[in-house]
Amino acid sequence: MAEVELSDLIGLAERVASWTKAAGADEAEAYVAWAKDTYTTLQGDVFSTREGVSAGVGVRAVIGRKVGFASASSLEEAKLRSAAEKAVEIARVRPEDPKFHRLPDPVRRPARSGGFDEQIIEIGAADVVPQAKSVSSEALSADRRVKYVVVFIYTQAYMFGVANTRGISCGDRASKFMGIVECKVSDGSEERTGSDHVYGRRIAELAGIGERAARLAADSLGARGLDQPVVGHVLFDSTTASMMLSMLTYGVSARSVQEGRSRLEGKLGKQVASKELTIVDDAWMKDGLGTVAYDGEGVPTTVKPVIEDGMLRNYLYDSYAAHIEGKKSTGNGMRSWFTSQPSIREVNYMVRPSSRSPDDLLSEVELGVYVRGDLMGLGHANYVTGDFSVVATNAFLVRRGSIEHPLPPTTIAGNFYEMLKTARVGSDLRLSPIGKIPSILVSGLTAATRR
Amino acid sequence: MEDLLALAVRAGEEAGAELVEARGEDITVFSMRSEKKTVKLVDYKRIVGVGVRVFADGATGYAYTNMLTREAVREAAVRAFRIAKAASRHTKLRLHPAECKPARGTFRVEVRRHPGEASIDEKKEALHAGEREAEEAAGRLLATTISRYGEAYGWRYLVSSDSEARVEFLVASMGFSVVCKEGGEMADAADSFGGTVGFEAFTGEHSPEVMGGNAARWALEKLRGVKPPVGKHRALVDNRLAGVLAHESFGHMSEYDFVATGGSPLAGKIGQRLGSSEATVVDEGVVGVEGYPGFRVPCDDEGVEARRVVILEEGVLRSYLHTRWTASLAGVEPTGNARAVDYTFEPICRMRNTYFTPGDLTLEEALEQLRNGVYACGTAGGQANFDGSFMFKATRGYLVEGGEVKAAFKDVAILGHILEFLRNIEAKTGELKVYSSFFGGCGKMGQAPLYVGLGGPHILVKEAMFGGERVG
């Protein structure tokens, strides 16, 4: 199936970069990517399933301090050449960027790839269809109140080659598997939802997620609202904790810091979180979804603490931000597809776990809320100040260490950076799209529901 | 390209498919954004690929590739077939394609000057000319100007078991927004134009200078505007706002996939009166309005000729929007509403150009008939919910007293329920304007931005609910 090899992509990237230079760029970079994706969706009784292969190139052309970008979704020479020429033409109309220095030079340091599942190259969506059906059946038979189930299974095999005219020439492969289930329960008067998932780099067993989603939905029935907002503890399970921690990237991005948009500006070496919190950006996590040997600019990715015992240790850099401070890129100029330019993102966050189970954390809650399921509205948070207000789909009132009753959809509001200062971590690391995250207990947030 | 598509169709049919549709595209996408006359973003993309959709055993499968070789395209057809077979074994609902009037031939777009022929520099100069005009009009109160230009063009090729068509694809649009500031107060406004048009469309009332100037003057009006008209008022909504209501709030409810799953409030209401006799809503592929063509869709992505669908006729619900399988499910003819955002997606039920049909008043007569109320124009965000409720922030709005446009409001939001809005339609002006835009197309089931057209005349309603910015 893979009629294209990684070495082909790297070779193509080198050629496109040189064509771009020949077309008039002072220097140039080409990122050539290939992906085979399968998307299997089962909604109720209707499958909508697709799969395919696509590939293409993103070209950066540099003229002085002007940078142009163009892409083409094709590996045919004529189209690659037209993208190269367009990037040069666009560079000419761009304004000078005084902060831009140059494309990165080759960096010599060890680089490691993550695990790759060869099966994912061969698998078709047709092979995944029975798995989707069994997840749906499992959810429907778990509880008679389950009325509607949506299952989504995604597989991806990904390869990229990146080369620039300063000598960078490299690439890597990655595989990805996601199984997600959402179900709706109704007891006639009340409707609730529940969800669960499995993420990984290898095809995995999905048995159990349908039942867990159904149980979460069913456990949320019989909700009673809060008489008044609760200001107290919030225990995020590993899933919702990972959604919350995705806010960190904005603050530790060197770009945000340089542009004065980060609350963590000037905080290197200072206490920004509770002593319990250690977060490493771990590019060598074998099974991490973000794991990749080189970033989107061809710089080897790295392992470095972001927060260590509550102290801010590092910002994340791509080559653009690194040049501004005369530093080296940390290999965080990530790209998810050839149509996008590099942007600063974590590879994988690894939160150092404690020895306390989620139940141990729960037992510490005098008055508060246990948050599971999904968080909505995180995209509307103020990433500059850290203020957020999200709606938790599955929240439970906790009093004196035990769950009292489910709550209706619950608004949780507060400040992300203040919240970090109160964080207590659990032992239950779970793989999520941003890394490995356990349950996290925080305080000082406000929880409110309709009465 | 067509040879490859024909090969895919044969491969799917030989495998045993009931129907095979192969779709190819070669589309160029270009956009540019400038702030304070500095080019901030330029994006250029060339999108080339092939997708194959197969009906087999009462299920569908879809596979795509942009490796344009015979082997890759044949494999896509076989994989799509395998998906359909697998899905069929695991579902009870049977999906079959309805018989249709297949599209055949070449569908060209006629414009005087194709946008692809204008240089990047010329486009940049146009944006800057509009921004300069805005700066001049806003004077010392100017905070910022933002201008945008975007275009997408190329060809789509459709070959299926029963159709063969090549369809030219074009959308171009240009827009300006201006923020003005005085003391602690801020106000913004925008003007734009777009559709399946040549570069010559950005002249006259849609020239960068006029649009940039409008945006600045409207922002100034709002800056010195009066408080929002909270509560119920008689109202006149302009062509754009009418179009947004037709598409966002009403149109989506008529998409048959939503109707079939029982999610739409319009389910089971064919033949019922939902609006006043003045309320007629149409969705069609090719709009014959000089200067306001919307987004041209001569045939859909299943190769079905795009029919004119009168969804609501003088207040009575007449038709839903269909793809081939939804039509088969409903026992009607497909309407040509199956559209896919690009080659990686299968076509689903979508709108094309959705608008309220015009009446016969002039704008002066409409204002005279309004007497006292609110005149609301354009939209600057908002949302339509699936139960029919909506809230849209107007770009600008005015107090009308004694049939005359008086003060501008600081901000205006119209809210309510679409069926109530339809019942309250009292009269319409005679001009029809259908707009489309490169920016902010329609989104559904992960497929966005899909280019659509929307519009109408000015619509006079007996009563509508208004709020300020923070309402909703």
pLDDT digits (tens, 9 = 90+) for B320-367: 999 999 999 999 999 999 999 999 999 999 999 999 999 999 999 999
CA distances from A255 to A300, A350, B120 (A): 19, 22, 29
Query: What structural domains and CATH numbers belong to chain A?
Result: 6-200 (3.30.2290.10), 223-245+354-448 (no CATH)
List the end-to-end C-alpha distance of chain A, in Å, as a whole number: 57
Nearest one of B361, B352, B335 to B431, comparing CA atoms: B361
| pLDDT value at A332 more than 50 | yes
Interface contact flag, A69 B46, Cβ < 8 Å: no
Q: What is the CA radius of gyration of chain B?
A: 23
Mutation pick from A36, A47, A186 vs chain B, by most beta carbons of B within 10 Å, is: A47
Cα angle vertex B448, ends B442, B452, to 5°?
Answer: 35
Q: Cβ of A44 under 8 Å from any chain B Cβ?
A: yes
Residues of B with CB under 8 A from a CB of A: 38-39, 42-49, 51, 59-68, 71-72, 76, 79, 82-83, 85-87, 89-93, 95, 120-121, 124, 261, 344-346, 445
Residue the block writes with tokens 């499968």: B61
Phi, psi of A422, deg, nearest 5: -110, 5
| 8 Å CB contact between B356 and B246 | yes
The proportion of chain A whose per-residue pLDDT surpasses 70, expressed as a percent, equals 100
Least confident of B134-143, B210-219, B258-267: B258-267
pLDDT digits (tens, 9 = 90+) for B36-58: 999 999 999 999 999 999 999 99
For chain B, list the domains and their CATH numbers.
Answer: 2-223 (3.30.2290.10), 231-467 (no CATH)
Measured in whole angstroms, the distance separating CA A147 from the mean position of its chain's CA atoms is: 30
How many separate helices (H) and strands (E) can be counted in chain B?
A: 9, 26
φ, ψ for residue A405, nearest 5 deg: -165, 160
Does ipTM come in above 0.90? Answer: yes
pLDDT category of residue B471 using cuts at 50, 70 and 90: very low
Min Cα–Cα distance to chain B from A268, Å:
31
- pLDDT category of residue A39 using cuts at 50, 70 and 90: very high
Alpha-carbon gap: B71 to the closest alpha carbon of chain A (Å): 10
- Structure confidence at residue B467 (pLDDT): 85
Tell me if chain B has a CB within 8 Å of the CB of A5. Answer: no
pTM of the model: 0.93
Tens-place pLDDT, residues B221-231:
999 999 988 99
E-state strands within A338-386: 343-344, 349-351, 367-376
pLDDT digits (tens, 9 = 90+) for A427-439: 999 999 999 999 9
Write out the two tokens for B173. Answer: 């649009």
Determine contact, residues B147/B33, Cβ cutoff 8 Å.
Answer: yes
Q: Mean pLDDT over residues B397-416, rounded?
A: 95
Q: What is the mean pLDDT of chain A?
A: 96
Which amino acid is residue B440, in one-letter code?
A: G
Q: Do B66 and A74 touch (CB under 8 A)?
A: yes
Residue B260 has pLDDT above 90, yes or no: no
In the prediction, which pLDDT does B470 show? 46
Choose from B65, B90, B326 for mutation: most chain A CBs within 10 A: B90
The per-residue pLDDT for range B285-316, each reduced to its tens digit, is: 999 999 999 999 999 999 999 999 999 999 99
Cβ contacts (< 8 Å) between B73 and chain A: which residues?
none
pLDDT value, residue B472: 34
Is residue B142's pLDDT more than 70?
yes
pLDDT band with cut points at 50, 70 and 90 for residue B426: very high
Q: Which residues of chain A lie closer than 8 angstroms to B261, CB-CB?
A: 44
- Chain A partners within 8 Å of B44 (Cβ): 69-71, 83, 86-87, 90
Q: Which residues pair with B376 in a beta bridge?
A: B237, B397
Residue A99 contacts B where some CB pair is shorter than 8 Å: no
A153 contacts A132 by C-beta, under 8 angstroms:
yes
d(CA A268, CA B149): 42
β-pair type (B389-393, B59-65): unpaired
User: Is the separation of the CB atoms in B100 and B304 below 8 Å?
Assistant: yes
Q: Of the candidates A64, A97, A71, A38, which has an alpha carbon nearest to the alpha carbon of residue A296?
A: A71
Q: pLDDT tier at B468 (50, 70, 90 boundaries)? A: low
Q: Mean of the pLDDT values across residues B451-458?
A: 97
The pLDDT of residue A2 is 52
What does the pLDDT read at residue A256?
95
Sign of CA dihedral B252, A389, A185, A228: negative
A231: number of CA atoms within 13 Å, CB side? Answer: 3
User: For residue B462, is pLDDT > 70?
Assistant: yes
With CB atoms and an 8 Å threshold, state whether A44 touches B92: no
The beta-carbon neighbor of A52 closest among B45, B64, B91 is B64
Residues B311, B327: Cα–Cα separation, whole Å: 15
Q: What is the mean pLDDT of residues B250-274?
A: 91
Whether A1 shows a pLDDT value over 50: the answer reads no
**pLDDT value at position A21?**
98
Report residue B81 as tokens.
């077939």
pLDDT given at position A380 = 85
B48/A129 Cβ within 8 A: no
A405 close to A433: Cβ distance less than 8 angstroms: no
Q: Is A68 on the interface with B (CB under 8 A)?
A: yes
Cα pseudo-dihedral B245, B247, B250, B254, rounded to 10 = 180
β-strand pairing of A303-308 with A279-282: antiparallel
Name the token pair of A410: 């619950």
Chain A CA closest to residue B342: A73
Judge whether residue B165 has pLDDT over 70: yes
Q: Do A50 and B42 touch (CB under 8 A)?
A: no
Confidence of residue B101 (pLDDT cuts 50, 70, 90): confident
